[in-house]
Structure formats: structure tokens, C-alpha cells
Amino acid sequence: MFIYLEKLVNINNSREELNFLPQPRHFKQLGDIKYKIVEETLIYSDISENHSFILDQLQEKLLSFGLERKLEEKFLNSIKNINNLEDPLTICSREFPNLNLERDLNIKNMKEQGYLIISMNSSLLIKAECVQGLFYATQTLIQALNAHQNKLIVDQFIIIDYPLLQIRGISDDISRGQAPTIPNLKNFVQILSHFKINQYYLVYMQDMFQFKNHDEIGKGRGAYTKEEIKDLVNFSNERFVDIIPIFQTIGHWENILHNEKYWKYGEFPASNSLNIANDEIYDLLNEMIGELSEVFTSKYFHIAADESWDVGKGASNEFISKVGKGEAYVRHYKKVYDIAKRHGYEKIIIYHDILYKYE
């Protein structure tokens, strides 16, 4: 896959230093001559209509940087159809003589998320094996443009880049204090994607989601509808940010268990923890995780399970005394794990702070 810009205009009056975040794996600046993207610059690409959002986002950014109209786009089914384009691997070999190109270009993260940028001689080539790598390359290009006061100026350089870590994520506590709106979350996702963060965990979803049969949960708290989460997930998918819910499955239920209607599920009224001796909690968890799976389409699901301080201090005391706390916990975790798997989640994540204390 590729994006190719040609007919950039020579400009010599810019001296800004290039800085990138994260720093590319291999970067080399090629002389002091710089070029400018102008309205006559052309874009050639083999991007399919399904992935046209990458070009759309780049075009929107160029307009925000001062371009008066969108660049003309032309579809080419092969990079070989670009006239007078020197082979990219030949250029890389020449500019990085000590680099083992065969090794670097075949690293898994390079194939799945990596890219090549060559900016030289009034043209710019972006090349990647996967669409995610192509998107990350456009973010690097935007950073290079941002280095200049005139944000349409392009330096001459070559970059070979791929992430060291396949997963780069953050978690965000949206459930205590003021809840962010969907536009706020979208703005944040946009920033995360620009810096190549690819997982975003929402903490905690058990009372920040409007469940079909539980009108009182999340009421007045800013809880999100299914439509809002679908909108956020679709937006994030186009920026290669995986939205993953952190849904508490034992502790941190006080925002629900304070309600008399749900007392039967807790260790005691308004407790922190679910009563894991009560089989009815698994019907409730199954119902809730099932609804979440309709909108959170990631293969990852975070069952949290941290800070369950009240376990054994109320309704489950007899059960805990009989089987032991470690055994009681592992039975619970297995049941929750099976529920999440049943609803299509492939990778189950759990906090460690309670887990590591018991055999």
C-alpha cells in the first residue's frame, strides 16, 4: 500500500528542527533543501474505498494547515506505475548501508504496523504493508509538517519505522467525578492515535453504561447509550485505537449496591463487593457482559476484579470459611472468564492485586 505526493515546490527559507514522538526507529535527513505542498501537488495511491478515511484525514489536516483546497487524488493499482520513481529499497540500502534491511522489513511489527517514508526531489512516498502502518506514516508526516511555522513545508528525509511494542495503551477513569462526553472522548482518541497509541481502556463501565433492564444504574451519572458507544468505537476504529471496557466483576460495585434494589447481590447493603456465594450474580454479570459485547467489539475484555475488600465480610462469610478465600476467588474468576468467552471475547484481562495474594 502506498501514498505518493508529487509536484512539491522548492523552498529554501526554513530552518526548523524535526522532532518526532515516538522517535522513529531509523531516520536520516537528506540535505537542507525543503519543499512545500501546494494546491497543484498531486496524490497518487492504491488505497481502496474501504480505507479512504486515511486520505480523508490527511486532506483535512492539510486544509487546517492552510491549503486552500483539497489535493487532487489519482488511483494507481501499483507503485510500479509511478514514472521515474527509484526503487524504495535501493534508496534505503544506499542511505542506511549498515542496516540489515531484510531483517527490519520482515519484523512482525514492521509488517503489521510499520512504514517507510521517503521525501526527496519534490516528491514524497509513503509505503506500508498494512493499512495501520499507512495511517501511522501519515501521522509522522503531520508531525514533520508541524515542525514548521508554515505547516505545508516538507523536509527531505527517509524514515523506516515500526513500534517496539505491539500493544501501546492507556486506561482512563471515566467513572468517578465528571464523566467525559462522547465528543471529549473522540478528541482524546484523535490525540492518542496521532502518537500511535492503539488501546484505550474505559474505567469502569458497570455503572457508566445504560443497560436495557436496569434503568436506575448510571442514572444522572452521564452513563453512555449503546448508540454513543457504537459511534465512539467506529470513530476509534478509523484511527486504529481499540476501545476496551474495564467492567468490574466483583469489587467496586458500591455505585450500584447502594441501591436497595441490588442489595441482594452484595456482601451487605452498599458494600464494595458482590456476594460470590450467590449464584444470581452470574446471571446479572452474564446479562451485562452480553449487552456490552454488542457495542464493544474488541477481542479484549477487562474483568478488573481488583480491590474486592468486602469479600467474606458479609453474606459470603460461611462459603469463604468452608472453601477458603483462594478457592472461592478462583471459582469466581473462572465463571466470569467463561461468561466473557461465551460472548465472543478472545483475550481476558484481570488486575493482579488480589489475584497474587492467594494460592
DSSP state for residue 80 in the 8-state scheme: G
C-alpha cell at 11: 523552498
Question: Is the four-CA dihedral 285, 289, 291, 292 of positive or negative sign?
Answer: positive
pLDDT digit string (tens) for the chain, length 359 residues: 999 999 999 886 666 788 999 999 999 999 888 999 999 999 999 999 999 999 999 999 999 999 999 999 999 999 989 988 999 999 999 999 999 999 999 999 999 999 999 999 999 999 999 999 999 999 999 999 999 999 999 999 999 999 999 999 999 999 988 899 999 999 999 999 999 999 999 999 999 999 999 999 988 889 999 999 999 999 999 999 999 999 999 999 999 999 999 999 999 999 999 999 999 999 999 999 999 999 999 999 999 999 999 999 999 999 999 999 999 999 999 999 999 999 999 999 999 999 999 98
The pTM of the full predicted model, rounded to 2 decimals, is 0.94
> Strand 72-75 relative to strand 115-120: parallel, antiparallel, unpaired?
unpaired
Question: To which H or E segment does residue 296 belong?
Answer: none
Q: Which residues, 6+ apart, have CB-to-CB distance to 31 below 8 Å?
A: 156
Contact 13, 35 (CB under 8 A): no
Q: Are strands 26-36 and 169-173 parallel, antiparallel or unpaired?
A: unpaired
Q: Going edge to edge, which strands form the sheet with 242-246? A: 169-173, 199-203, 242-246, 300-302, 347-349
Q: Which residues contact 116 (CB under 8 A, 6 or more apart)?
A: 88, 92, 125, 126, 127, 128, 137, 158, 159, 160, 161
Cell of 77: 493499482
- 137 CB-near residues (< 8 Å, 6+ apart): 3, 115, 116, 117, 126, 127, 128, 161
